Structure 1
Amino acid sequence: MGKSVHILDVYRKSLLLMEPRPKMLHKRGYWVPDYLIPTATELNEAGVRLKSRKDNSLTNISFLGKDLKIPPMIVDEETERLFLNIMAFERSHVGAGNEVTAYIFFMDSIIKSAEDVELLKKRGIIYNVTGSSQDVAKLFCSLSKGITFDSETELNNVGYEISRWLKIPLKKKWNKCYSDLMNTYFKSPWAIVSVIAATLALTLSMIQTVYTVLSYVKREQ
């Protein structure tokens, strides 16, 4: 885990489960982009698949294809106090890194309402053991006050990739239509059966209509 200089650093590194990664963003051509990360609800509507990672490292957030994988987080009565202290530690200790601050910034970007929290709960990303979903949304809003975005974090890569993916017009439009279709008509096996049955009934009705018209034309001849 490396040398820790403070009890908060020990707890912080237990959340990260790794040493801070080398900052290589500028060498790889990543600059500070002019973008806003959409909310969880907006991402879901655009076709992004929100998934929970198996590990608990807060820094292990990734976006590949259209899968946004986020480690699970338990929100309890101690969450606000612990994160405020850890972010204060990151600000006051040069070289400690700012991974936790970047995580809070990212989560605040995708959580703006109780609806966002409910969606993340369904995906196994948020486990709320205290308060309401609206309380969780307010918590992240409160935690993010006064913090600034650091372009030299791995989460900047994630935000950049999400933004670039969403800017492809045809893909965005198709994925939103597909997502709406799946959410409206294919939420359950019975819904799928109903759609198939309706399609079959419509097909049979069209066949019967064509047969009737052809029979009438044949009699007239």
Structure 2
Amino acid sequence: MEDPFANNSREIDEENLITEDEFPQKDQRYFDGRRMHKVPQSMRLKKHKEEDCYAPKMVSFGPYNHGLSELRMVEEFKPLVLTMIVSSSGEDREFFYYKILEVIDQVRNCYVGVSRDVYDDGALAEMMLLDACFTIYIMKVSLGDGEKYFHFHQHFGMAAASRAFQDMYLLENQIPLWVIELSINLIYGNKEEESMLLCNFLSFVIFGDLRLTRIPGEDKKRPLHLLDAFHQLLVEEWDNAGKKLVQPVSECQWFLPRQWRKECPNEFGKFSRQNRSVTDLKAKGIYFKPSSYCLKDIEFKSYTFFGQLQLPVWFFSFHSKLFFQNMIAYEASPESDVDFSIICYINFLKPLIVKPKDVKELREKKILFSCLDGDEQVLQVIKEIDTCGIDLPPIFNDVKMRIEEHCSNKAKTWIAELIHTYFRNPWTFIALLAATILLCLTFLQTYYTINKL
């Protein structure tokens, strides 16, 4: 039988295709009606010379970017990776190809506008298998597999690993997560270490460790693709077993801004004035504390003479802008069934961080971490993240209201401002103490002088 991977082309001889009679398409357990949409055209408008955050730079996954000439080098490398990955399974690669072909209709249904005129079933099955194996390969490189690490370095150098990794979480550069899981199960079977590969990768990317023991959403709706899995891990709190914990913020009510202004005009007036930076809030006696990795875990508590704002922990890197832009595009894409948690988090963060001193304060409080060169670069990354004018305040409305009420309370902020002005370092305290002593001595001298007279 002719090898369907011989020329790595889109054209597959129809004689080599498996018909529906041989493999009936009865199993629909993978496709649940959700589809992978492209980035909305309005979000692709960019300034002159601005980098396209939605286009892959090194490797394509799925049909939306397949065949781009600038990605040809890795495309030609994928069959080699496929051979390496499946070699330990005891099966030949045609076995895996036909297994993907069995469910190819469900794969096709996950995409928008991928017709059989462009990719017939054989070509799409070939693409899925190559991309799934390359995903497994990059996961292993990221998790420190010595053999895969050296193999990748030998062909591309480790500088390219960063590009390949960031291409994995582009919105238009995804394959169904169940295709990756199916490939892992077919290739590695019941090997416990390998069966945890996807779970370990997700946990390592988001938490920096291997705390998760299962993929989020296993009990209910499973992630559609890798970006969706990252999103689920970031907007909910999870225990080490991958179970969702109680939501850290009150249930969100997604009112349209106009409706919300109409129903709560007085509250909107209070909210609209809330635009204070970390430095400003600190001067009002508000201190900062890390909450969790959940980006919805923002809480404010007001006490007698001070306030406490709890913020989620985040690590900023060179990938952060691209990562958040694709998360924002995912939330704003057509028919998206996720909420706007990432957009609201960025909209909440931007007014807080307006100068390097704000970054420094959150860094010292163990809220923001970074591998960038200085607080100025972190500030620049945050400034460059574009929510495309999407402004949905209600998710953190309660937090913002309580912050504004605290800052507007003169009795609560007067002592805080006094402490911030005169007790922030030993020298201002000594100067205040000396001035107080001098004033007392002057008063005593005046008093005794008057009494003697």
TM-score using structure 1 length: 0.76
- Cα gap change, 1:207 to 1:51, in 2 (>3 Å): same
- Cα gap change, 1:163 to 1:25, in 2 (>3 Å): farther
Question: After superposition, where does 1:1-221 map in structure 2 within 5 Å?
Answer: 1-2=216-217, 3-18=222-237, 22-24=251-253, 31-32=260-261, 33-34=268-269, 35=272, 36-45=274-283, 47-65=284-302, 66-92=307-333, 94-153=336-395, 155-166=396-407, 168=408, 171-172=409-410, 175=413, 177-188=414-425, 191-192=428-429, 195-215=432-452, 217=453
Kindly state the Cα deviation for residue 107 of structure 1 after the two structures are TM-superposed.
0.6
How far apart in 2 are the matches of 1:49 and 1:124?
16
Kindly state the Cα deviation for residue 197 of structure 1 after the two structures are TM-superposed.
4.9
How far apart in 2 are the matches of 1:160 and 1:148?
20
- Cα gap change, 1:83 to 1:110, in 2 (>3 Å): same
How far apart in 1 are the matches of 2:296 and 2:278?
18
Give 3-state SS (helix, strand or coil) of 2:448's partner: helix
- Cα gap change, 1:126 to 1:186, in 2 (>3 Å): same
- Cα gap change, 1:95 to 1:12, in 2 (>3 Å): same
How far apart in 1 are the matches of 2:339 and 2:319?
22
How far apart in 1 are the matches of 2:421 and 2:252?
43
- Cα gap change, 1:203 to 1:40, in 2 (>3 Å): same
- Cα gap change, 1:172 to 1:80, in 2 (>3 Å): farther
Q: AA paired with 1:84?
A: Q
- Give identity over the alignment, percent: 22
Give 3-state SS (helix, strand or coil) of 2:385's partner: helix
- Over 6 Å off, 4+ runs: none
How far apart in 2 are the matches of 1:184 and 1:152?
34
How far apart in 2 are the matches of 1:149 and 1:111?
17
Kindly state the Cα deviation for residue 69 of structure 1 after the two structures are TM-superposed.
1.6
The structure whose residues are more often helix, as a share, is 1
Bigger radius of gyration: 2
Q: AA paired with 1:137?
A: L
Kindly state the Cα deviation for residue 51 of structure 1 after the two structures are TM-superposed.
0.9
Give 3-state SS (helix, strand or coil) of 1:144's partner: coil
Equivalent pair of 1:108/1:144 in contact (CA under 8 Å): no
Equivalent pair of 2:298/2:309 in contact (CA under 8 Å): yes
- 2:145 match: none
How far apart in 2 are the matches of 1:123 and 1:212?
53
RCO comparison, higher one (Cα < 8 Å, 6+) = 1
Kindly state the Cα deviation for residue 145 of structure 1 after the two structures are TM-superposed.
4.2
- Cα gap change, 1:64 to 1:25, in 2 (>3 Å): farther
Kindly state the Cα deviation for residue 7 of structure 1 after the two structures are TM-superposed.
0.8
- Cα gap change, 1:211 to 1:23, in 2 (>3 Å): closer
Kindly state the Cα deviation for residue 103 of structure 1 after the two structures are TM-superposed.
0.4
How far apart in 1 are the matches of 2:254 and 2:404?
16
Equivalent pair of 1:50/1:123 in contact (CA under 8 Å): no
Equivalent pair of 2:406/2:412 in contact (CA under 8 Å): no
How far apart in 1 are the matches of 2:223 and 2:420?
47
Equivalent pair of 2:291/2:310 in contact (CA under 8 Å): no
Structure 2 gap ranges (5+): 1-215, 238-243, 262-267
Over aligned residues, Cα RMSD in angstroms? 3.0
Kindly state the Cα deviation for residue 102 of structure 1 after the two structures are TM-superposed.
0.9
> In the comparison of the two structures, how many residue pairs are matched?
207
Q: AA paired with 1:108?
A: K
